[in-house]
Amino acid sequence: MRVFKEATNDCGDILFQVKFDMIRDYKSLHRHAAYLFKFIANSGLVDFPAELKAFSEAAVLSDVAVHTLVIAEYFTEHKTKAALKAFQHMISTGVAQASCSYSLLITALAVDRSDDNFLVKAKKYFMEMLVKGFKPNSGSYMLLLDSISCRESKGKASEFLEEIKAKGFVPAPNLYQFEVGHFIEAMTAMKIYDDLEDSITDEDMQKVFLEWRTNHDLLNKELMKMYTALLEDDNVEQAQEVFRLNTERSRIPMVVVYTCVIETYFSFGKNKDALEAYQGMLAAGVALN
């Protein structure tokens, strides 16, 4: 409890302070940690369930597990600055970081575009993971590469890839195929995606986009739903094209993203916004199916 109180002592967010104050004893701390780690492991936000499972099932929470709990709290509420501060506090206390504490922070930094320095720090901590012998998870890795492709000058993603490969990082074979053509396609797709996201002013839709950014499984499920529907309607070639882009390029086709936006607006009862999204899809040159 001492480690938890020290890690949350200077919390500047009153809502989080109230939440942390409700955890008054070790039993409630352990129960909360087990719930939060299980939620993150099962949500698809990151892919290190074994490490989180070990944390939550430990008879006594280690110092790194407690610090990771605080980082995870901020991570799940998209409080990037607070997550970064909690991570740096963990370092200052001499606690050895775990793979998942790094990955949670890198994911948060890569996704959050409110501060250009976040991407710089995400790259720094990713490299630091490799130096310490950790294996970065695919979720934080792909988000970071996508962010670099979109937000930095042409070729920066390729340069970063070469740097991390020199440190011994080997991408999983089912992830991006790293040739020049991929980065050109990725940058084009990410620009369309970002332009679409930037044009969204509806708060409900903004929250949905944030969920998509941090949980790839959500859009993957929508892709499979579209793929199945196309097959059922005998649109075999269109179904194969959607599937090919996903399997060969490890990216969600923009037709899936736009369709999800339109469908989501309809679910909110916002038909005018759905029509505008459809018109924006045509203007962006995205091929319909």
Please work out, in degrees rounded to the nearest 5, the angle formed at the alpha carbon of residue 37 by the alpha carbons of 32 and 42: 130
16 is a domain residue: yes
Query: Do 76 and 43 meet the contact criterion of CB atoms below 8 Å apart?
Result: no
Domain identity same for 189 and 133: no
Q: How confident is the model at residue 179, as a pLDDT? A: 43
pTM listed for this prediction: 0.65
Domain identity same for 133 and 239: no
CB atoms within 10 A of CB 277: 23
Residue 85 has pLDDT above 90, yes or no: yes
Q: H helices of 114-179, where?
A: 116-131, 138-151, 156-166
Domain identity same for 212 and 164: no
Mean residue pLDDT of the chain comes to: 81
Residue 70 has pLDDT above 70, yes or no: yes
72 is a domain residue: yes
263-273 confidence digits (pLDDT tens): 999 999 999 99
CA 31 → CA 5, 38, 172, 181, distances in Å? 16, 11, 34, 48
41 is a domain residue: yes
Please tell me which residue, 213 or 97, carries the higher pLDDT value.
Answer: 97
Q: How confident is the model at residue 251, as a pLDDT? A: 67
Domain identity same for 116 and 194: no
CA 271 → CA 39, 239, 263, distances in Å? 33, 27, 10
Q: How confident is the model at residue 186, as a pLDDT? A: 52
Query: Do 205 and 265 meet the contact criterion of CB atoms below 8 Å apart?
Result: yes
**3-state percent helix, strand, coil for the chain, nearest multiple of 5:** 75, 0, 25
50 is a domain residue: yes
Domain identity same for 8 and 103: yes
Domain identity same for 181 and 166: no
The structural domain count of the chain equals 2
143 is a domain residue: no
Query: Do 175 and 247 meet the contact criterion of CB atoms below 8 Å apart?
Result: no
Domain that holds residue 205: 176-289
Domain identity same for 89 and 205: no
Domain identity same for 118 and 12: yes
Domain identity same for 226 and 286: yes
Domain identity same for 126 and 197: no
CB atoms within 10 A of CB 106: 27
35-55 confidence digits (pLDDT tens): 888 877 776 556 676 777 788
Domain identity same for 2 and 118: yes
Question: Among residues 253, 214, 247, which one has the least CA distance to residue 47?
Answer: 214
